Amino acid sequence: MNGDPSSDPSRGVDGGLGVDTASDLADLDHTPEQMAAMGRAVLDMVVAHQKEVMHAPCRGGVQADDVCRAIRQPLPPEQGREIEEVLRPLFDDWVKRSFTTPGPGYMAFVPGGGLFSSVLASLVGEGTNRFTGIFAAAPALVQLEGDVLDWLAGWMQYPAEARGLLTTGGSMANFSAIVVARETLLGQQLRDGVLYTSTQVHHCVTKSARMAGILADRVRMVPVDAHYRMRMDALAEAIAADRAAGLKPFLVVSSAGTTNTGAVDPLPAINTLCHEQGLWHHCDGAYGAMFHMVPELRGVLDGLSQTDSLTLDPHKGMFLPYGTGALLVRDGARLKAAHGASAGYLPDAADEEFYDPAQYGPELSRDYRGLKVWLPLQVLGAARFRAAVHEKYLLAQECAEAVSRIPGVVMDTWPELSLFSFHLTRPRAGAGAEAPAAEPADLAEENRLTRALMEGVIRRGRVMLSGCEVDGRFLGRVCILCFRSRRAQMEACVEDLASAAAELLAGA
């Protein structure tokens, strides 16, 4: 069969496939005028939303099963509609049925961000839609991503030979790190390899271990001390026991800021132990690593720049919209050895001088992630990022001081970075309001009170908090990392915690 459809008896003048090739139906493009009008309509809606989010309730109506059932479409529409009409219910209703994650009062979990310049970078990335998975296809665009990785490495004080990878988030960065450590130290002998992490690690690490072929019986959850940091004595003992059993310890995954309480593991001691024992030290800094950008705060993260690999999450500590994580590997050649590949249908990989994403990570086609980090840094400048990260640290210290003075609140952890935890107890009858609880209610009662405290604050609408359960105790948490959270929101947080606590202790 040649390329002329009319020479193929199975095809008619319309191509023989039931498709009229001359019809407008097959033309999916819009005219420049239509694009401009559609773009303006959508941008107006997005900007109106950005304005609204400053005053929106911190948690919308997330009990939305009926709404989900009502909007379910078993089939896509056959005919298209105006984009404004399509998006109207999304902005008027569906978006509002959510945690207001980019709102100033969002201090739950680990806040993300949503800097507007990064939003526009997504538009530019997809509006130009170039292939940035390999250097050869768009060298100058990929160079911007290479710059971003170098800047991240510089802030983390990683050496010049470090290389990295922009991922969709911290989870995928941790996954690739485990693969690199496994490839470097275990080769084909996966079964005996043992990974060590603390009981407080983010669950994506154990999930990643499983995806990387490290089975559950080769993952050790090392106990923590009173500050929820990995216990070095327990780590050393676990490694020795595994060696004695003929297994091969190969990786310690520490946390630079746990999700539960913000604890920073003893990074220098873990570096030393891993060095002595020939283990890889990967640090999950998805929450906390960005604080290393601020020279005054580097002491809290001492040892971070000597780790073998490091996860960062620009969609947390750089306030970007969801979808941008990062992995740095100290010896960049290791990252490349674990992920590099070639194929007959692909152009040659770039020279060592240039960064070539597909050689350093698992993906080929991908969104243009580099621009989402590069553009905000160009528009705002690095100094403003440092100032904002530093401010979140300082606000957390002030906020923790004020929260600790609320009658009935017992601090469980003070902020090492910008996260602290606490619980509510009933102060001793007859004691002054500031007196510590001498006869604490039992754990179940304190847990009930603390859960109710979180809910009471959220119900007031200004501040969204979340708690966590650690060893049977429910902890309230405040995590300050939204770029829109400023002093006014700290004050709101303290006021609402104080009034909700007073209400509970009076009524309960």
Ligand X SMILES: Cc1ncc(COP(=O)(O)O)c(C=O)c1O
Contact positions toward ligand X, by CB under 6 A? 110, 169-171, 202, 204, 255, 259, 284, 286-287, 313, 325
Q: Which residue has the tokens 């959508």?
A: 42
Q: Which is nearer to ligand X, 113 or 407 (CB)?
A: 113
- Where residue 471 falls (left for φ over 0; alpha for ψ -120 to 50; beta otherwise) is left
Q: Shortest approach of ligand X to residue 323 CB, angstroms?
A: 9
Matching residue, tokens 């490091």: 310
Contact between 343 and 120 (Cβ < 8 Å)? no
> 103 vs 427, which CB is nearer to ligand X?
103
Query: In the beta sheet, which residues pair with residue 166?
Result: 326
Q: CB-wise, 145 or 313, nearer to ligand X?
A: 313
Comparison of 202 and 392: residue with beta carbon closer to ligand X: 202
31-42 exposure pattern, b = at least 16 Cβ within 10 A, e = fewer = eeeeeeeeeebe
Of residues 184 and 311, the one with the C-beta less far from ligand X: 311
Instruction: Specify the residue, 327 or 449, whose C-beta has the smaller distance to ligand X.
Output: 327
What single-letter DSSP state applies at residue 290? Answer: G
In whole angstroms, how close is the CB of 172 to ligand X at the nearest point? Answer: 7
Find the shortest distance in angstroms from Cβ 373 to ligand X.
14
Q: How far is the CB of 376 from ligand X (least distance, A)?
A: 17
In the bound complex, what is the minimum distance in angstroms from residue 187's beta carbon to ligand X?
27
Q: Work out how close the CB of 208 gets to ligand X at its nearest, in angstroms, rounded to a whole number.
A: 9
Angle, CA 316 vertex, CA 366 and CA 160 arms, to 5° = 70
Residue 89's alpha-carbon distances to 45, 71, 84, 183, 281, in angstroms, are 11, 10, 9, 49, 48
For residue 366, give the nearest of 201, 172, 75, 224 by alpha carbon.
172
The three-state secondary structure class of 309 is strand
Shortest spacing between CB 477 and ligand X, in angstroms:
12
Q: Can you say whether the dihedral through the CA atoms of 104, 106, 110, 116 is positive or negative?
A: negative
Closest by CA to 302, choosing from 223, 419, 416, is: 416
Smaller CB separation from ligand X, 171 or 309: 171
**Beta-carbon neighbour count of residue 135 at 10 Å?**
24
Which is nearer to ligand X, 149 or 494 (by Cβ)? 149
Q: Which of 36, 109, 492 has its CA nearest to residue 315?
A: 109
Min. distance of Cβ 325 from ligand X in angstroms?
Answer: 5
